[in-house]
Structure 1
Amino acid sequence: MSGAAEPLRFKVVIPARYGSSRLPGKPLAPIAGRPMIEHVHRRALESGAEEVWIATDDERIGEAARCFGARVCMTSAEHRSGTDRIGEVAAMRGWGEEEIVVNLQGDEPLMPPTLLRQAAAGLSDHPQAVVATLAARIHTTAELFDPHVVKVVSDAAGFACYFSRAPIPWDRDAFAVTTEELPERSAHFRHIGLYAYRAGYLARYAELEPCPLEAMESLEQLRVLWHGDSIYVAEAAELPGPGVDTAADLERIAALVAAPVAEQGT
């Protein structure tokens, strides 16, 4: 008789920086009386991660995070991406090469905790991948043709072929007739920016040169594919809530968070 399966073990790191061209101080923006980063931290704790860290280069964020009991890792201000920042945390903490680390962006207060576990499980179940991520089906042409929505195409085994801001795959016959609606056979997916990495790969990623595709599309995950490594992509078990990029996003999310509280008081 075989033994019980090993429990899924993973860590979560939340990269958070103060500077933002559209919403300065974004991680500290208030939502229902608490800074946004606290809501994100709660989602990470609810995922069942064995450790949750907030990685920042700004003491204002660090101080706020410590006030609500978070573990904080102060990192360099020179990092070009959140992935590089997470790599510094992994190195500082001395995590083993096979440890799974989930990158939860600091502007995702409505990310379902189940998706963090799903991304970690995707990496755990696919040892040939160095990164795992999630995607969701696209249902409208407005979303498909929106350059702010990142699309992903995967192979039969679920490994990413390419990520793009362009509408991929291009349905030649259907779109030659109309781009007003998606064809019935449509299999278009948008990428959900949630990543699971092996800690050992984070160190290697930091040493890889940025690639031309990454610069053209402004998508750092293309660096992984360019250098010949594999990204496993699973269809998300549920849809995430919206992230925060602008002040309007913040107002919308604050209303969503406050709604259940208001309903409880009626």
Structure 2
Amino acid sequence: MNQEALIVIPARMASTRLPGKPLADIHGVPMIVQVWRRAMEAGIGPVLVAAAEKEIADAVIAAGGEAVLTDPALPSGSDRVYQAAERFDPEGRFDVVINVQGDLPTIDPALIRAVFEPMANPAVDIATLATVIDDPAERANPSVVKAVLNIAPGQKVGRALYFTRNPAPHGEGPMWHHIGLYGFRRAALRRFVSLEPATIEKRESLEQLRALADGMRIDAAVVEGVPFGVDTPADLIRARTLLAVR
């Protein structure tokens, strides 16, 4: 396996709550460039922005980064990541592709490194992240996705058996907040984007269930904390404050 991963950041201008989000200004720098910088700081391989629009690609290239234009009609970030990876690396030099969301300008680069770690096990098709839910209100909150993991106390990586918006699993022990960063084995990514949405995926409105329904193995690395995502103008103000401190 290539000891490096290809990190791909999908980005598009269409956002209902924050139009033009990738180019939103954070201390004189477009948000997508801030995300690209955090991904570069992870130090695990080249970073590519999968841009649905030329203005996003132009902003990244102007900052010294690499970007690939993708079909704006693609239905999901995963499809955008796959298309960009194939265009950037048609020879398949990178066996692992890491999908980092384009609205995480304050993400700790250590989280990006963490999602690469489960891929050391060749049996793993997809890697992701999870953190312990400490707030009781999060357990019942359907916007907080729970990862049902088979993981022993003290272990740092567990196999994902299911993902749900409901409180799960039952019984004593931790409940896990799923963090939507993914590392894909290249073949698994190709397979994933070729699949039709699964019935259970549509019921829970969780894309990762498509992979589980098709028999793919997903392992989750345990990390501390949830990265802050920018979805609204208020989030953008907070991101500016957090990066000012940084």
TM over 0.5: yes
Superposed, 1:1-266 pairs within 5 Å as 8-92=3-87, 93-96=89-92, 99-123=95-119, 125-156=120-151, 158-171=158-171, 185-236=172-223, 238-260=224-246
Q: Please state how far the C-alpha of 1:50 moved relative to its aligned partner.
A: 2.2
Shift in CA distance, 240/193, structure 1 to aligned 2, threshold 3 Å = same
Structure 2: where are the runs of 5+ without partners?
Answer: 152-156
Is the 8 Å Cα contact of residues 2 and 95 (structure 2) preserved in structure 1? no
Return the offset for 1:7. Answer: 8.1
What amino acid is the match of 2:166?
A: A
Measure the CA separation in 2 of the matches of 1:170 and 1:17: 39
Tell which deviates more after alignment, 149-158 or 57-66: 149-158
Question: Deviating runs (4+, > 6 A) in structure 1?
Answer: none
Report the 3-state secondary structure (helix = DSSP H, G, I; strand = E; otherwise coil) of the residue aligned with 2:98: strand
Q: Shift in Å at residue 232 of structure 1?
A: 0.6
Give, in whole Å, the separation in 1 of the partners of 2:126 and 2:227: 22
Consecutive unaligned residues in structure 1, runs of 5 or more:
1-5, 172-184, 261-266
Question: TM-score w.r.t. structure 1 length?
Answer: 0.85
What per-residue deviation string (whole Å, max 9, x for no partner) do you get for residues 191-248 of structure 1?
0111001112211111111111111222110100011111011101x32431111111
| TM-score (norm. length: structure 2) | 0.92
> What SS is found at the alignment partner of 2:158?
coil
| Aligned residues: CA RMSD | 1.7
Over the matched positions of the two proteins, sequence identity in percent amounts to 42
Q: CA deviation at 1:151?
A: 0.6
CA distance in 2, matches of 1:229, 1:28: 35
* Deviation of 1:102 (Å): 0.7
Partners of 1:62 and 1:217 lie apart in 2 by 33
Structure 1 residue 79: Cα displacement: 1.4
Larger of the two Rg values belongs to structure: 1
CA contact (8 A) 2:57 2:69 kept: yes
Deviations 1:171-209 (A, max 9, x none): 4xxxxxxxxxxxxx4410100111001112211111111
- For 1:21, the aligned partner's letter is T
Alpha-carbon distance between aligned partners in 2 of 1:44 and 1:196, rounded to the nearest angstrom: 13
Q: Is the 8 A contact 1:150 1:191 kept in 2?
A: yes
TM-superposed CA distance for 1:87, in Å, is 0.9
Cα distance, 1:259 vs structure 2: 2.6
Tell me the distance in 1 between the aligned counterparts of 2:225 and 2:91: 30
Asked if the contact 1:129–1:232 (Cα under 8 Å) also holds between the matched residues in 2, the reply is yes
* Conservation of the 8 A alpha-carbon contact between 2:118 and 2:127: yes
The 1:204–1:241 alpha-carbon spacing in structure 2 relative to 1, beyond 3 Å, is closer
Shift of 1:148: 1.2
Q: What amino acid does structure 1 have at the position aligned with 2:107?
A: M
Question: Are the aligned partners of 2:2 and 2:94 in contact in 1 as well (CA < 8 Å)?
Answer: no
Distance 1:230 1:97, change over 3 A: farther
CA distance in 1, matches of 2:93, 2:55: 31
The farther-off stretch of 50-59 and 162-171 is 162-171
Q: CA shift at 1:25, angstroms? A: 0.7
